[in-house]
Amino acid sequence: MKQTSFNADQVEWRRITDPGSVEYKIDFEYSLMGFDRDAGRLDMLLRYAEGQGHCRRHRHVASTMTMVLEGEQHLKELQDDGSVKHILRQKGDYALAPTDAKPHLEHGGESGGMVFLSMWAPDGILFEYFAEDSSISLGTVSIDEYVASWNRGGVYGVV
C-alpha cells in the first residue's frame, strides 16, 4: 500500500467514540496511510476532536515517530513512581519514542489536533490498551490486526 500525497479532506477517516468512558472523552479519528509487514512498519494519521477529544489509554509497544500537523497533542504519561508527566506538542513539533513506551492518555487541544505517526514494530505489535485506571491490560493490536480491521471497514484495537 502506498500513498504519495496528503489532503486531510480526502483521507478516509474512521471515527472512534466511547460514551461509556467516565474519566475522559474518547473521540478521535484515524487513517491508515501505509504499511510494510516485512519491515515491521505502519504509518497512520490520528485526528483528535475539538474539546480535548482523547484516544484510548494505551502505550506504544512499537517505536513511534510523531509529527504534529495541526493543533496540539497533549500527553499525560504515567511514570514508574505513579506520578504523571504532562507533555504538550504543538503544530510542527516532532518526537521519537523508543519501543515499550510508558502508558499514557493523549488528546488534542480545545481546537483538536492532528498527528502523523510512523511506527516500527520489530515483533509486529503496535499498541497495548488499558482500562481507564491503567491497572488492567485489555490486550494488544498488531500490524496484521490493524490492517485486517481496516480492510474489513472496521476499527482497530480493543474496545
Q: From CA 68, how far away is CA 102, in angstroms rounded?
A: 20
| Model confidence pLDDT, tens digit, residues 81-92 | 989 999 999 999
Segment 50-72 shows an average pLDDT of 91
Q: From CA 40, how far away is CA 10, in angstroms rounded?
A: 26
Domains of the chain in start order, with CATH, are: 14-152 (2.60.120.10)
| pLDDT confidence tier of residue 44, bands split at 50, 70 and 90 | very high
Alpha carbon of residue 142 to chain centroid: 13
| pLDDT confidence tier of residue 120, bands split at 50, 70 and 90 | very high
Helix (H, G, I), strand (E, B) or coil at 116: strand
% of residues, the chain, pLDDT over 70:
92
Segment 54-74 shows an average pLDDT of 92
Higher pLDDT pick, 133 / 19: 19
Q: Which residue has the cell 490520528?
A: 46
Segment 7-26 shows an average pLDDT of 84
Q: Please tell me the predicted confidence (pLDDT) of residue 159.
A: 43
Instruction: Calculate the average pLDDT of the chain.
Output: 88
Q: Is the pLDDT of residue 103 over 60?
A: yes
| pLDDT confidence tier of residue 100, bands split at 50, 70 and 90 | confident
